[in-house]
Amino acid sequence: MTELVLRADGLRIETERGAPIVESASFGLDRGEVLGIVGESGSGKTTTALALLGFAADGVRIAGGTVTVAGRELTGRPEAEIRPLRGSVISYVPQDPSVALNPSMRVGTLIGEILRTHAPDRNDAETVRAALRNLQLPADDAFLRRFPHQLSGGQQQRLAIAMALAAAPAVAVLDEPTTGLDVVTQARVLEEVKRLREASGISVVYVSHDLAVVAGIADRIAVMYAGSIVEIGSTSEILHRPRHPYTHGLISSIPDHAVPRRLRGIPGVAVGVGERPTGCRFAPRCPRRVEACETAIPALLQVAPGHDVRCIRAGDAPPVALEAAVRMREAAPPILSVRDLRAGYRSRAGEVVAADGVSFDVRRGECVALVGESGSGKTTIARVLVGLHKPDGGRIELDGRPLAATARARSREERRRLQVVFQNPYDSLNPRQTVETAIAGPLRFFGISHGRPARVEVAELLAKVRLPERLMHRYPAELSGGERQRVAIARALAAGPSLLVCDEITSALDVSVQAAVLEVLSDLRKELGLALIFISHDLGVVASISDRLLVLDRGRLCESGPVDDVLRSPEDPYTRRLLDSAPTLPVLAAHVDS
């Protein structure tokens, strides 16, 4: 017999001006159950997750509906009454652990403060150590004395989860807790969450844009779009037979190393708050819309036991059909040749080797992927290639001609032909420049176009990365993280490069936006012969776009070859460990057309 521990009923969240952010969200959560909430940025996932704690950000208010957790209502009560319940009854883990970790407090003090506030009868040294051991973290005195900045990213995230679970709440809300982590660390965090759920019976709301990750941990999935739940049902039902066109589009966008396929993005752009159409919110992007879709918002109706869909055409939803990934077949001369590359850097702990005798070629129109855990040397190699980190040895050639070690010593034409897009768009865009100015910069610097033609070119580049022209006059602070990253990609493409170094450029993007960006890069490879060096920890993304795969382990190239061969028959134990840790949706194999 199931026991309902959380119930959200008719939840409505608005801006202070009354514009709806979340509209009539209703769902329940049983004891020991994991509910995944998925959707693109702006769909209302995080706003809904925070509302489950009776919390709304500045400028936002919970305007209607109720949230009840373990028999206690968290909406419509004074803040002073709700605050003690956050941590004892329901807890929250943000995407960025630095938000949850006070940098001036040591590890032991951070967990001790949670226990002192929410479980004073259990506030002792052994409980603190047990909270760390539960997440496979060290529990010795040395670790307890560390500060958050002395931990790795994976350790910080597991510490944030340990803090959230220390007082044994009935429900934990995990908001994108593994985004940005390498596959091995991500798998470790997810395994610990599943183990703790089974051991303690805690219920979990797991928010993510990655349906493959959610599918590996959730019992049920709620799909959100433009502030509404458009489909909710068991994980198996959602994946085997998605009924809403938006869910269908998300599944078509999911990368999976076990089922390599060409990813297809969802057409159009997600609507923002204040831009929602009068009828079905998804109608402007829906390939199956009819006139009735544009006149009224569809009701959330049951199409099968436990499976509800907000679509008037849910009954005739087509099966998912996916295309097999396309690989480069022709042999072209190398654009870039790297031989015996050696590079490193010095830290307080001593000298770190980031590249130890690494050699590879990149051919015209080819995509070569570099994969490995954090610290394997991927980003350092990328910085060496574009002249931002001086190597300790080796040779780099562009079209058979040696490249100088630093960007400053290279010619303008060499810099134009070899462009880079970094992982963090916050650091790559000038906060004082508009989107138009940022993208037009390379056009003017390299003498490609000036004046009005530059503005036209900027608009075309924005369209290529699926951004509306209206964003042209905005500043980086006015964009979402995914929008910033696409602007950074558009700026790199503005130079008309021969080779583009992509350093984790899709790690912060929604799967649908990620698929759209990868489509753009695939099309440019075909049209212009653009070569790519694609650095990623996501083996699913690598399987969808790359032709050859290089696996790095602590600066050493431990395995390389055609991507399908490496994924099917890995020879190195480290490669096998990466593949075993990567999330997968094998249920989709039957939907791929060869």
Window from 147-156, 207-216, 312-321, 445-454 with minimum mean pLDDT: 445-454
Helix (H, G, I), strand (E, B) or coil at 541: helix
pLDDT band of 243, cuts 50, 70, 90: very high
End-to-end CA gap in the chain: 45
pLDDT number for residue 346: 76
Task: Decide: residue 336, CB within 10 A, 0-12 exposed, 13-18 middle, 19+ buried.
Answer: buried
Fold held by 358-389+405-546: Rossmann fold (3.40.50)
pLDDT number for residue 187: 82
Cβ atoms 337, 397 nearer than 8 A: yes
* Residue 171, pLDDT above cutoff 90: yes
4-97+172-316 and 358-389+405-546 agree in CATH topology = yes
pLDDT number for residue 316: 85
Share of the chain above pLDDT 90, in %: 51
Q: What is the pLDDT of residues 307-332, one digit of tens each?
A: 999 999 998 888 877 777 778 766 77
Backbone phi and psi for residue 11, each to the nearest 5 degrees, phi listed first: -65, 125
* Residue 101, pLDDT above cutoff 70: yes
Nearest Cα neighbor of 235 from 66, 392, 35 is: 35
Nearest Cα neighbor of 263 from 37, 540, 561, 587 is: 540
Q: What is the pLDDT of residues 426-437, one digit of tens each?
A: 778 899 999 999
* Residue 275, pLDDT above cutoff 70: yes
**Domain residue ranges in the chain:** 4-97+172-316, 358-389+405-546
Window from 25-34, 73-82, 458-467, 510-519 with minimum mean pLDDT: 510-519
The CATH number corresponding to 4-97+172-316 among 2.60.40.3080, 3.30.200.20, 3.40.50.300, 3.30.1330.10 equals 3.40.50.300
pLDDT band of 99, cuts 50, 70, 90: confident
CA angle 459/463/466 to nearest 5° reads: 140
Q: Please name the helix (run of DSSP H) or strand (run of DSSP E) that holds residue 564, with its range, or none.
A: helix 563-568
DSSP 41-84: TTSSHHHHHHHTTT---TTEEEEEEEEEETTEE-SSS-HHHHGG
Dihedral of CA 573/578/580/585: which sign?
negative
Give CA–CA dist 7/10, Å, rounded: 10
Nearest Cα neighbor of 25 from 45, 2, 54 is: 45
Q: What is the DSSP letter of 366?
A: -
Q: What is the pLDDT of residues 184-221, one digit of tens each?
A: 778 888 888 888 888 888 999 999 888 888 988 999 99
pTM, two decimal places: 0.82
Window from 87-96, 176-185, 558-567 with minimum mean pLDDT: 176-185
